[in-house]
Chains A and B, each alone.
Chain A
Amino acid sequence: MKLTVNGTEHEVDVEPDMPLLWVLREELGYTGVKYGCGVAQCGACTVHIDGEAQRSCQVAAADVWGPVTTIEGLGTPQALHAVQEAWIEHQVAQCGYCQSGQIMQAAALLSYAPDPTDQDIDDAMGGNLCRCGTYTRIRAAVKTAAAKLQEA
């Protein structure tokens, strides 16, 4: 089957029910996408499909309905996305393992709520678990990213 990831088309030979998460991580090498729970409880595997945040552990390979963007496609160390800039500015990460998913979720939030309220942030980010407890900084970084995107 064919998958478009970060603008590149890939042909993969996997079971139709292999979750997109594992196709991305182990068949295609996009290891920025993380396995945390496998049951849509932690959000570490969040990617964009057609611009919307999705838990890639819950999307079967055969059901992927549009182009996929992973953290690697959002921005790079040399060309950061505004959300990543904000994450660096606030030094959000501790272990960092959940942050790919947090950043992808936040980027999707800002695409439909460019000036999010605290309630918007609570609603959108509530499914993304951070075991290190960086929530205070995540909230601040989302607001900074919103301001950056509005200036741009």
Chain B
Amino acid sequence: MSRIGKIARRSFLVGSVAVAGGVAFGIWRYRTPYANPLQDDLPEGAAALTPYVKIDAEGVTLITPRADKGQGAYHVQAALIAEELDIELDQIAVDPGPPSAAYWNGALAEEAAEFMVPSDGMVRGMAEGVVNASMKFIGLQMTGGSTTVPDAYLKLRQAGASARETLKLAAAQETGLDVGELRTEGGAVILPDSTALPYTRLAAAAAGLDPVQDAEIKDPADWRILGKPMQRLDIVAKSTGTQDYGIDMQVEGMVHATVLLNPHQGGALNGFDASEAEAMRGVKAVVPITGGVGVVADNTWRAIQAARAVQADWGPSPMPATMEEHWKALSDSFTPEAQDSRKRDDGNVEAARNGAELVEAEYRAPYLAHAPLEPINAIVRIDEDGAEVWTGTQVPRFVQQNVAKIAGLDPDQVTVHVLMIGGSFGHRLEDEVVKQAAEIAVQMKGTPVKLTYSREEDMMHDFPRQIAMARLRGTVRDGRVDSLDLGIAMPSVMGSQMSRQGLSVPGPDSQIVAGAWEQPFAIPNQRVTGYRAPDLAPISSWRSVGASSNGFFYNAALDELIHAAGADPLEERLRLCDDPLARAVLEAVGDMSGWSGPLGDGKGRGVALTRSFGVHTAEVVEVTNTDRGIRIDKVWVAAEVGRVLDPVNFENLVQGGVIFGLGHAMNCEITYSDGIAEQDNFYSFEGMRQFQAPQIEVRGLENGDHVRGIGEPPVPPAAPALAGAIFAATGTRLREMPFNKFVDFA
């Protein structure tokens, strides 16, 4: 049974559905063609409650399609519901829901649209419609692009408010009292005489009512939970070793597997000899899979040891043999034929160059592994009438479809359990590990196969961040930046990523210029051109995607011109800034850092601002040039996110994003030789360590109308702010990451 009220002004409605012993409230999107993920036998049109809150005799449960990889996605969604439902945070349980096309991520589609069309209202509106339709077609239930908060902010509060008012209605009917006399608190409807009727008791009755559609959500001024420091729901488990991740999951009767993949990335398995491996203790099977061998044992270590004993005949990698050739493919791509987009072309950069001294520079950003600390893993069990998957994933819908294909089943015969993820940074947008576990499991039907990568396999077969190159031609006039002409070449991240799902991405790839073309600086003559390099290494979304390289390129180029103009990096950015939200974050970091020009004494400061994922983030980095190398002393960050929903987690994510950006800029790259990644563990891909970590002061600004996620935006400005600081301290201009090719770090 289900109820949907009449169509309201909003683009979505709150729906409810009776579930065993209670009721579930969720968002029903008008015109959505998808079936309800909760119940298959709903009447037509009564579909798609997502995400939703379930209330039954057991309590209140938030069913969410979003993956939690450490960013606190479960927690913030629970807080949104708890706020409106008038329950405490510890009264709400969180359950990752089944994969379903109904969990469509609207915010990600908007983000994609924003960077795919000019900001012309009419054209933009049409293009967004097209993008949304294709996203729906894919059935994109995806966690990514810092979209969890924007996507959930209104939907979850509305669902919570509707549930609260409908429960009050149920209480009113039961007691004969007027709804206006009732209030809610602590998970119960409170009668005028202070009697508390718990939601758990009212749930079944509420299932029989039309959900209240016009329930008012709270004014942020009245918030009890949101916007205030709160304890993350998972913080005790994660401080006591009691948080189970995918790698800790145990299923009755499971075996432990690992893979030995062709080290020549993308190469085939021509044959293998497993006789030595098969004779080793605990080894149960050695089986061929796509591009490698699966080794099954009774213990993960035994599987890893046995994998090292397999002799395999590997085919070559399709990618260029040397890094010189990779870079040449990029430098050869600055051509009219390879032009992918020119989203910005203000003034006339060519005319501005007439008679002016040209500032030219070339910038490079390397491949980077995601390397979350939990090696990727998945459990898959396949038998004749179904399959079950246990894994941490950001793309459960793809997982379901891919396992179905390998097992020869329909997608709805595949159950996916989404587990807690020990870090992702985009790594869990790939599902090769699940496909490989399925390829092994289909060869041993009925047995749950737990596949765990060794760190070496994980790092060598991480689909890394794009390699990228940029070229600047710019001019200054009368002490001001007058023209900036930036060309950026990289292979298509979206094309590479979607190709592994058998999908093609038509049209320009907005990520090639993301973080560069849309920056809030009114340089009189400004042009940003994207060039699509051919496919090289298979690449994937890496925390902040295109902006992770382009935020460096744009700010480094701007710094170069500001220096040529003899201006101050912060003052000239403020003078050029044409967006009040961006200006506010620049002013904030200037104020926080007490910016007052050059520091002297071997110290230097750099500043950068990147608009990415709709968030303006400004960072000031201060370094000292010590006799042991560059020491990063302090970082100040200001970011505009509309609303800071959880100030503690916000600060933590910003600090982490800064360290992520700085650490990789300092010392990380993945290089390939004959298609083999030359870095296979943390000794050659280190990132930042405790003794290098600066103090990081964070300020969240709330001037904008849109609530934004903060997972990715702190990353892009970190590298250029560091480069600017090193230039100020040493006079060395850094144009290529990682910087430890050119300077030492203490």
Determine if A137 and B655 form an interchain contact, defined as CB atoms under 8 angstroms apart: yes
Contacts of B688 in A (CB 8 A): 133, 135
Residues of A within 8 A of B301 (CB): 18-19, 21-22, 26
Given contacts A39-B455, A95-B373, 13 further A-B contacts (CB under 8 A): A22-B301, A25-B300, A31-B244, A35-B452, A80-B239, A91-B232, A97-B70, A97-B373, A129-B686, A131-B371, A133-B659, A133-B688, A136-B696
Residue of B nearest to A93 (CB): B238
A42 with B240, Cβ < 8 A, contacts A22-B299, A139-B690 known: no
The reply to whether A36 and B375 form a contact with Cβ atoms under 8 Å apart is yes
Known: A26-B299, A103-B239. A34 touches B374 (CB 8 A): yes
For the complex, is A37 an interface residue (Cβ under 8 Å from B)? yes
Nearest CB in chain A: distance from B642 CB, A:
22
B69 part of interface (Cβ distance < 8 Å): yes
Using a CB-CB cutoff of 8 Å, which residues 392-444 of chain B contact chain A?
Answer: 421-425
- Report the minimum CB–CB distance from A7 to chain B (whole Å): 16
Looking at the assembled complex, report how far the CB atom of A10 sits from the nearest CB atom of chain B, in whole angstroms.
15
**Most chain-A Cβ atoms within 10 A of its Cβ — which of B239, B300, B656, B693?**
B239
The answer to whether A5 has its CB under 8 Å from any CB of chain B is no
B556 to chain A, nearest CB (A): 22
Partner of A93, one of B235, B424, B455, B657: B235
Chain B residues in 8 Å Cβ range of A71: 240-241
Q: Is the CB of A136 within 8 A of B655?
A: yes
CB-CB contacts of A121-152 with B at 8 A, as 1s and 0s?
11101111111111111110000000000000
Q: A37-B681, A77-B236, A132-B70 are in contact. Are A94 and B653 (CB under 8 A)?
A: yes
> A96, B372: Cβ atoms under 8 Å?
no
Q: How far, in whole Å, are A126 and B686 apart by their CA atoms in the complex?
A: 11
What are the residues of chain B within 8 A of A110 when measuring CB–CB? none
Secondary structure dominating the interface of A: loop
**Contact between A99 and B238, CB atoms less than 8 A apart:** yes
Contact digits for A51-82, partner B, Cβ 8 Å, 1 yes 0 no: 00000000000000000001110011100100
Within 8 A of B (CB), among A102-130: 103, 121-123, 125-130
Contact yes or no, B241 A91, CB < 8 A: no
With CB as the reference atom, state the residue of chain B lying closest to A87.
B239
> Size of chain A's interface in residues, with CB distance under 8 A?
59
By secondary structure, the B interface counts as: loop
Whole-angstrom CA separation of A131 from B235 in the bound complex: 17
Q: Does B231 contact A (CB under 8 A)?
A: yes
How many Å from the CB of A73 to the closest CB on chain B? Answer: 9
With A31-B248, A75-B240, A139-B693: A94-B681 Cβ-Cβ less than 8 Å: no
Contacting pair A39 B240 (CB below 8 A): no
The 8 Å CB contact of B70, one of A18, A36, A96, is A96
A129 contacts B373, C-beta separation under 8 Å? yes
- Given A34-B374, A91-B231, A95-B372, A77-B663 contact (CB < 8 Å): no
Residue of B299, B302, B658, B682 near A133 (CB, 8 A) is: B658
- Chain A neighbourhood of B256, CB < 8 A: 26
Chain B positions within 8 Å of A103 at CB level: 239
Write the residues of chain A forming the contact surface with B, with a CB cutoff of 8 angstroms: 15, 18-19, 21-22, 25-27, 31-39, 41-42, 44, 70-72, 75-77, 80, 84, 87-88, 91-100, 103, 121-123, 125-139
Residues of A within 8 A of B122 (CB): none
Tell whether A138 pairs with B422 under 8 Å between CB atoms, given A72-B241, A91-B652, A92-B239.
no
Flag whether B689 is at the interface (Cβ < 8 A): yes
CB pair A15 B423 closer than 8 Å: no
**Within 8 Å CB of A15, what residues of B?**
281
Contact of B422 among A39, A97, A139 (CB under 8 A): A97
Chain B residues with CB under 8 A of A125: 690-691
**Nearest-CB distance from B666 to chain A (Å)?**
12
Would B423 and A39 count as touching, CB distance under 8 A? no
Give Cα A135–Cα B688 distance, bound, in whole angstroms.
Answer: 9
Q: Which of chain B's residues have a CB closer than 8 A to the CB of A127?
A: 689
Q: List 22 A-B contacts (CB under 8 A).
A: A22-B299, A32-B242, A33-B241, A35-B452, A36-B682, A38-B454, A72-B240, A88-B239, A91-B232, A93-B238, A94-B652, A95-B69, A95-B422, A97-B372, A97-B373, A129-B686, A132-B423, A132-B660, A133-B663, A135-B659, A136-B695, A138-B690
A84 cross-chain contacts in B, Cβ below 8 A: 239-240
Contact A132 B656 (CB under 8 A): yes
A96 touches B454 (CB 8 A): no
- The distance in angstroms between the C-alpha atoms of A139 and B509, with both chains bound, is 41
Does B20 lie at the interface of the complex (its beta carbon under 8 Å from any beta carbon of A)? no
Chain B min CB distance to A38 (Å):
6
| Interface residue? B649 (CB, 8 A) | yes
Minimum CB–CB distance from B309 to chain A (whole Å) comes to 14
Q: Which residues of B contact A76 (CB under 8 A)?
A: 240, 242
